Every structure is written in C-alpha cells, then in structure tokens.
Amino acid sequence: MASSPVARVAGRIAVPVLGLFWLAVTTVPFLFMVMTSFKSQQESFSSSVWALPEALDLVNYRSVLEGPFLTYFKNSVMVVVISVVLIMLISAMAAFAFARMRFRFNDALFGLIVAGMIVPIHITLVPIYLMTRQMGLYDSQFALIGPYVATSLPISVFILTEFMRQIPKELEEAARLDGCGPFAIFFKVFLPLSGPGLSTIAIYNGIMLWNEFIFAYVLTSSTGTRTLPLAIWDYQGQYTANIPAILTVVTLTSLPLVVAYAFGQEKIVKGMMAGSLKG
C-alpha cells in the first residue's frame, strides 16, 4: 500500500522497542528499591548498586516491622477508612440535592462547590493548623479527618452529581408513588443505584488520602498518631545513612496499594483517571 516496506518494518520494530524501553524506565527505580531492601547496610556501601543482594535477607523487613511501622499502618487504615466513608455519604447526599431537587441557588451553589477543586490546599494550611490547635485536635488522627473529607468533597460531589443525573426519573417517580419521601428515595433508590459512582470516588480518594503528606505532616507530630507517608519521612530523618532500611520502609508502604492493584487494575486505573480528570 502507500507505506513503503522499510517504513512498515521500522514500525513493526519500533512498537516493541519503545514499549520495552518505557517498561525499563518505569521498573528500574522500583528494581533498585526492592533489591536494596534485601541488602545489609554494609553490603549497600561496599558492593555495586546493581549487584544482586548476596542473600534474600529479610532482616530489614523484620527490624522495620518490629518497630513502630504497624502503628503508622494502623493509623493510615483508620484515617482513610473513616474519611472515605464520610466522603461517600456526605457527597452522595449533596449530589442527590444538586441532581434531583429544585431549590434556589442550586446552580450557583453547585458551581461554588465545584470551584473548590481549583483551590490549592496550601492556602488553607496555616489557618487549618491554627484551628486544629484551638480545637484541641492537634497531634491526633482525628485532626486529619476534617481536612481530608472537606478537600475531597468538591471532586466527589461533582462526579456523583453527574452520575445521579443519569439515573432514570421513572424510578424516583415510582418510589414517590409508593409513598417514599426524599430520605427514603435517597437511601432506597439513589444510594444503591450509585454503586459505580461511589466506587470511583472511594478508589480515587482512598488512594489520594493513603498517600497524603502535607496535612499529616503539619497536623500530627508523634509516632503514635502519624500515618504511613510520615513513616517514610520519620525513618529517613532517623536513619539517614541506612539506605536499605529506608527503602524497606518505602517498599512496605507501597505494598498495600500494589496488592490492591493486583486485584483490580482496571477499576483502579479508571478511578484514578476519573478523579484526576475532573479534579
């Protein structure tokens, strides 16, 4: 056809070559991370960085897991679970009002909330820090929940409102004829039918909050209250020279999401894309 044989062969070679090249670019840093985590501190200084570990030594993992790592982990799970549940409920309620209720300022208020997506959270940092101190919540896991839920709301309300607008009006009418009020319609019709939208916002916000750094860094200060991203920070502050131990912490911190990813890649990719696109 129109393309010359040379061009076609070049095309056929370029695809796997480029595909594998980027695979290397992506995996090399991870390879370095995992390989180093199996080395002793001594080994990491003396042998070449790219030498395989002498033995599959789990000593770094053991020592990290015996330390406060699990406390960080527990805090992360607690903060993220509570926040995500609240985000789902609160944004679904607001989305229901925006999608299906007629009231004054509906559009204006919706626009205002959605505009919240563009606010850089850094401007809220100092006032929230001062407010948290005043509320007596400073250095507690609960200090994080308010900012986490609030900063996730604009995007979540936006996604869910779009979603709920697609739910057929007939279902709502039928429920109303059965004598359901707004609350029954919300809980019995809209919430169950919003499953895919809710799972999108749960995945997106779950991952974002699991990785969140700055609020956690500013609003908590002790090991007992800090979340996983701070585990990395605290370890690297304490053991600057022990590269294998620090990379072990990095590996362990990333593991939960990698495991989750192994089970639901498509859903996670979709959720991350939807969240970031609209956010």
Partner 1 sequence: MTDITTRPADGGAGGTALSLKTFAPAIFLAPAVLLLAVYLLYPLVDSFRLSMFDWNGLGSDARFVGLDNWKKLASDALFWEAAWNNILLAFFSVVVQMPIALVLAVVLDNAGKGSRILKILYFLPLLMSSVALGVLFKYFYDVTFGPLNALLDFVGLGYLAQDWLGDTRFALGAVIAVVCWQYIPFYMVLFMAGLASFPADISEAAKLDGASETTIFWKMKLPHLKGTIRTAIVLSVIGALRYFDLIYVMTGGGPEGASELMATYMYRNVFSSFQLGYGSTVASGMFIVVILIASVLMRFSKRYETEV
Residues 179-238 that bind partner 1 (CB under 8 A): 181-183, 185-186, 207, 210-214, 218, 228-230, 232-233, 236
Q: Which of 116, 171, 191, 199 binds partner 1 (CB under 8 A)?
A: 116
CB of 69 to partner 1, least distance (A): 14
Q: Is 153 in the site for partner 1 (CB under 8 A)?
A: yes
For partner 1, which is the closer residue by CB, 45 or 55?
A: 45
For partner 1, which is the closer residue by CB, 59 or 175?
A: 175
d(CA 167, CA 169): 6
For partner 1, which is the closer residue by CB, 64 or 274?
A: 274
Q: Which of 9, 13, 23, 81 binds partner 1 (CB under 8 A)?
A: 23
Q: Segment 70-109, which members bind partner 1 (CB under 8 A)?
A: 89-91, 93-94, 96-97, 100-103, 106, 109
- Contact code string over 35-74 relative to partner 1, x by CB under 8 A: -x-------xx--xxx------------------------
CB of 196 to partner 1, least distance (A): 13
